[in-house]
Structure 1
Amino acid sequence: MMESYIHNYKRKRVWMLLVFIVFLPAVFEEIISSFLDLDFQNDIWYEVIDTSIMLLFATPIFIHMIRENDRTAVHLQQQLQEKKKIQQKLTLSNIELEYNATHDFLTGLPNRYKLFQVLSRMVKERHELAVLFLDLDRFKTINDSMGHLSGDQFIKLVSIRLKQAIPLGAQVFRHGGDEFVILSELPNCRSTEIADAVCDAFQQPFSINGTLLYSSVSIGISHMPEHGTDEVTLLKNADRAMYRAKDQGGGTFNIFSNGTDEYEKKQLMLENDLRNALETEQLIVHYQPVVDLSTGRLKSFEALVRWEHPELGLVPPGEFIPVAERSGLINDIGTRVLESSCRQVRRWHSANEQIGLAVNVSIRQFRNPHFPNLVKDVLEITQFPAHLLILEITESMMQDDSESVRIIEEIRTLGVKLAIDDFGTGYSSLSKLGFLPIDYLKIDRSFITEMLIHAPIQSIIQTIIDMGRNLDMELIAEGIEEEGQSLLLAECGCQFGQGYLFSKPLSAEEIEMTYSLSTLVKVK
């Protein structure tokens, strides 16, 4: 646009010069000479007249052109300044667009798109490269129990801590959700140092709205060139190694190996077989007695699912429950266990109508808005007394968000009791514990195991017992294996206990024989 303006101005100036300096003075001179009939003897007077006429026309034109030049110069200067401003704005906009396209909005970390850009460049330029794939342990529990806003705040705090933990020569990216990736240009042998530093960074709690949250991270590591020479393979193998670390309990790291392939095949086989197990009645329920520590009398049974695999034999819960959680089969398994155990214990009520039943509830079951109705339906179908049913939830499920409170209140409306399982190992807010209708606290077995060895553990157990009793909750100790543990717990005021000292989990048939329940009449 500016070039067109300059071109038009030059063409206009040429025409003005031709007309007012050449054409009009010549015409005007002829008119004056003809009109006045001038006749000079000396030619110099003709030159004087020519010059005067030319000056008469040229002077205003030159003055006009000088002014036009000034105005044009000013206009051009303004146009140049405006153009410069526009270019600066475009440059800033491009920088902002580039940043937004390559960085995560929530954390400010480089995002997945930037990760592939950098990783693609690194695999071409480097001979060694370590990829660390990170996944936060129990993030879904935090997100579900405390709400998505708190979950976002937690992710921000994690990103800050990761940036502080990694050394120079490594950079962290947010892969998405609760997954992060660290690329290390340091020697591959140092990748485990980075993983250790990241795991150590999670030893301290995160403070979210006054609540201290403890979490950990599972890390998978792949090395170039041993585990891949392109970005897709390196990320895939690091991801697979991460899942191996998660299945090992989390809070650790795992380096990819060929054994990971075999492990994944086994997990896939277990998932497929587990689906078949639901259809072919391979899942059975065992029952572990809960006794009164002061009298030794039977109080209730805890229902524990077991899998009798036709080829592998008895599959430990620690192997198939994580598979059920990941695949979503835990909902069907939980419903099956709840209904079958209610039916079984209801049959035993003809011999002892006070026997209670405790059933574990997974986070997936608990977060289902229809879960209270499902419990109601099971109670109606099995005719099981609601006041004898105890649903065991974890500390993470009782956080003070509206949905959790609603579900807890609806369950309590049915007359069903609630217990907090593995108490002392989670991140419950004690300030909220007294406002929720909880009937039992189950002291985690890790405290019971150490109570006779380390005196401070006894003080912790006593504190938990005193707190529970002050809140009108009854205490159940898990994992009792020695007589001394049982006696000391009773002295501290713990009412009930379970563990191998009393009985391991038994099948329904073994329970009937052990507790003389074999003559019961089945209840339809």
Structure 2
Amino acid sequence: MEKFIKPNSSKGLQKLLGDIAYTLEQAAIVSITDPRGTIQYANEKFEKLSKYPLKELIGANQRIVNSDYHDASFFKEMWATIGSGKTWRGDIRNQAKDGSYYWVDTTIVPFLNDKGKPKPYQYVSIRYDITARKLMEEEIRKNAELYEIITTNASDFIAIIDRDGKFQYLSPSFENLLGYSLDSLYSDTLYSILYKKDRQKVERKIAQFKGFHRKAIGLEYSMLDVKGGLHVMEAKLNEVRGSIDYEDQLLVVMHDVTERVKSEEKIKHLVYNDQLTSLMNRNSFREQLALAFERAKTRKQVFALVHINIDRLRYANDLLGHEAGDYLLSMVGERLKKKTGPESLLARIAGDEFAFIVTGLSDETEIYNYAEEIRLYLEQPIQVGQQTYSLSISCGISMYPEHANQPSELVTKATLALGKVKTRGGSDSEMYEHGTSKMSLERILLENEMRKSIQQQHFYLEYQPKVFLGTGELTGVEVLVRWNHPDLGVIPPMKFIPLAEETKIIVSLGEWILREVCKQAAAEIEAGEFCKFAVNVSTVQMKEEGFADSVLSILEEFQVPANMLELELTESSFMDTEGMKESIQKLRSIGITVAIDDFGTGYSTFSYIKELPADTLKIDMAFVRDILENENSQAIVKAIVTLADTAGLNVVAEGIELNEQAKMLYNLGCREGQGYYFGRPTTLLEAKKANYNSSEINKKM
């Protein structure tokens, strides 16, 4: 003080102290506490910043503004300092009355007494609000931490290189990606970690930044990690601007697109390849066929297209399951690859369809024989688990330039030839013949007319009698659908039934048949008669959701008892999904009987008979036709009858045409039969007249 006032001038000292106090009041937060921390004085700035009124501050402990931010050791050190008479300086975070926080730069000065051992009798605290500075420091700290997190973990990789490719800066993420330490990379160049085939390309791009070409450019290259793995990088190269330290250097921002590139390659593979067989798919084959077409046209060569279809593959799926069906498809693919060679254009173009191109042969007969050889090879038995399965294969063949001048036309002609094979039942090869397209138009016409004929009542029913072989008594009739078109005439079932199943017209046709049968059954009841009607049901119908409920609904509509109806199903219906078996059981549970039609030619083994949810087995006419001279047929019929008796199933023999056949079947244990011997399909009235007594049968035998 002596520097500012004259000695013995108390008035000057008082004025000076007043000025200092006023200045502190205006500039700082001032408080005075006793040795225990009780506030004795607080200025307006303290009141304003803490949001406590002076009357609440005076007499309160300094802890009133404690925020619990600092731990106990912080305050212990502070009290130890000021308790020893030393001044303490530090930053403290306090809490205002409204719960908000504020930071103060704090200086605490202890005032000591003069008696004995000096001890503080009060503390004067001078504080400055540094909340804004602290928030800025916290923001900077967070940003720095965030930058560290981003650069370490971000998918982008940032580097600054000089014109020679030497690294000047690397984001920490490089270390995670490549496994190299950053220090080792700083001593190297970008080119040293590039995949060899990309180095020259990248060097050329970097050279473009010399002279006047300074626009950002994009490029893609592969980098090698410490283990030799490749990482495909998508990079943007630009010149560093606005920096003194990195002037005339290049900023490289990279993104690891390895997974994207792999996905693109996978998608490309999916687009152009069949996943089950690894053969080309339809899209890829179409492109390759167009190229082959152009080559043949330029070189004036002959080549052929072979279109293959697996006949009735769904039956294999029904019998063996879809996994086995997939295995059969893959085996067809493998066999085709083996027979056509590794360089052949071979594809799976649909679920059960394949196609390949034949080159090097020019003669139509040679090409046909080659395709037929492959077809027969594909039909050889395939081992599936514990059993073997033989596929039926159909082939359609077309030739360039004999049959077509465009790829699409070549495909159409091969498909038409294939369709011709299918109409014959499949399992054959066919070379396209001019005029086949007319046959395809006939098929389309037939389909359209079939749909209309259901509505216009062009279908009608015939009935074939079934008799008990021991007495000749009529046991029922089998219902057979016929089609008499007003313009096309009578169309045989073997021509329209497969088409109806393929197009699902069989669903609506089958419903019409069932309604007509129930209508006839209701008439029988009204006339006091009883006749059991056996109705053929396609697997296609059985697969329709709600089929069983539909049958029950029609029976209820016409008030027909369930025991007047029998449904004849193919063996494949019993080998299908659990849902179909449940439908069959549901129908049987109300009294409808179920027969397995054409038994012995399908997929069941004799040992499986006991497990079938059926009431009757109908022995296929193939065994009846030669039963008089074929001992194998006799043995098979005897085995079926024996096992059926064991399982409690009835047996009906189909296709009986001779009394000798009827007699032998009866002697082998078969109790029911049907065929031309007892009556051809006719009206119900005529069918019911086929009632032979046992003596008449024996006479005819």
Report what 1:414 is aligned to. Answer: 590
Secondary structure of 2:634's aligned partner: helix
Query: TM-score w.r.t. structure 2 length?
Result: 0.60
Q: Is residue 2:349 matched to residue 1:175?
A: yes
Report what 1:522 is aligned to. Answer: none
Q: Tell me whether 197-206 or 475-484 shows the greater mean CA deviation.
A: 197-206
Q: Is residue 2:286 matched to residue 1:116?
A: yes
1:160: how far off?
Answer: 2.4
Structure 2 residue runs of 5 or longer lacking an equivalent are 1-156, 169-182, 197-221, 225-229, 234-257, 693-701
Give yes or no for contact 2:477–2:687 (8 Å, CA) kept in 1. Answer: no
1:420: how far off?
Answer: 0.8
Output the aligned Cα RMSD: 3.2
Give yes or no for contact 1:222–1:235 (8 Å, CA) kept in 2. Answer: yes
Q: Tell me whether 103-112 or 156-165 shows the greater mean CA deviation.
A: 156-165
Superposition map of 1:392-431 within 5 A: 392-399=568-575, 401-430=577-606
Secondary structure of 1:113's aligned partner: helix
Report what 1:139 is aligned to. Answer: 313
Report what 1:77 is aligned to. Answer: 192
1-structure distance, mates of 2:329, 2:604: 19
Q: Is residue 2:563 matched to residue 1:387?
A: yes
Report what 2:417 is aligned to. Answer: 241
1-structure distance, mates of 2:618, 2:378: 26
1-structure distance, mates of 2:165, 2:668: 102
2-structure distance, mates of 1:138, 1:425: 14
2-structure distance, mates of 1:11, 1:147: 61
Among candidates 318, 329, 335, match of residue 161 of structure 1:
335
2-structure distance, mates of 1:255, 1:511: 45
Q: Tell me whether 380-389 or 130-139 shows the greater mean CA deviation.
A: 380-389
1:358: how far off?
Answer: 0.6
Equivalent AA in structure 1 for residue 484 of structure 2: E
Q: 1:345 to 1:5 in 2, by over 3 A?
A: same
- After superposition, the C-alpha distances for 1:89-133 in whole angstroms (9 at most, x for unaligned) are 799887666544322111111211221122111111122111111
1-structure distance, mates of 2:316, 2:166: 73
2-structure distance, mates of 1:213, 1:404: 23
1:78: how far off?
Answer: 3.5
Q: 1:413 to 1:207 in 2, by over 3 A?
A: farther
1-structure distance, mates of 2:409, 2:677: 51
Report what 1:268 is aligned to. Answer: 444
Give the structure with the larger helix fraction. 1
Secondary structure of 2:373's aligned partner: helix
Secondary structure of 2:347's aligned partner: strand
Among candidates 415, 426, 433, match of residue 257 of structure 1:
433
Equivalent AA in structure 1 for residue 445 of structure 2: M
Secondary structure of 1:83's aligned partner: strand
Give yes or no for contact 1:211–1:429 (8 Å, CA) kept in 2. Answer: no
Q: 1:154 to 1:410 in 2, by over 3 A?
A: farther
Report what 1:5 is aligned to. Answer: 161
Q: Is residue 2:296 matched to residue 1:296?
A: no
Report what 2:238 is aligned to. Answer: none
Report what 2:58 is aligned to. Answer: none
Secondary structure of 1:7's aligned partner: coil
The structure, 1 or 2, with the larger RCO (C-alpha pairs under 8 Å, 6+ apart) is 1
Give yes or no for contact 2:606–2:643 (8 Å, CA) kept in 1. Answer: no
Q: 1:472 to 1:248 in 2, by over 3 A?
A: same
Equivalent AA in structure 1 for residue 163 of structure 2: H
2-structure distance, mates of 1:370, 1:163: 43
1:485: how far off?
Answer: 1.1
Structure 1 residue runs of 5 or longer lacking an equivalent are 13-67, 517-524
Give the structure with the larger strand fraction. 2
Equivalent AA in structure 1 for residue 272 of structure 2: T
Structure label with greater radius of gyration: 2
Give yes or no for contact 2:166–2:190 (8 Å, CA) kept in 1. Answer: no
Q: Once the two structures are aligned, what percentage of the paired residues are identical?
A: 31
1-structure distance, mates of 2:506, 2:163: 78
- After superposition, the C-alpha distances for 1:366-412 in whole angstroms (9 at most, x for unaligned) are 11121111110121122222123211111111016321221111111
1-structure distance, mates of 2:371, 2:579: 36
Give yes or no for contact 1:212–1:427 (8 Å, CA) kept in 2. Answer: no
Superposition map of 1:512-523 within 5 A: none
Give yes or no for contact 1:476–1:498 (8 Å, CA) kept in 2. Answer: yes
1:459: how far off?
Answer: 1.7
1-structure distance, mates of 2:625, 2:484: 29
Q: Alignment length, in residue pairs?
A: 461
- After superposition, the C-alpha distances for 1:2-39 in whole angstroms (9 at most, x for unaligned) are 99724177999xxxxxxxxxxxxxxxxxxxxxxxxxxx
1:252: how far off?
Answer: 1.3
Equivalent AA in structure 2 for residue 475 of structure 1: V
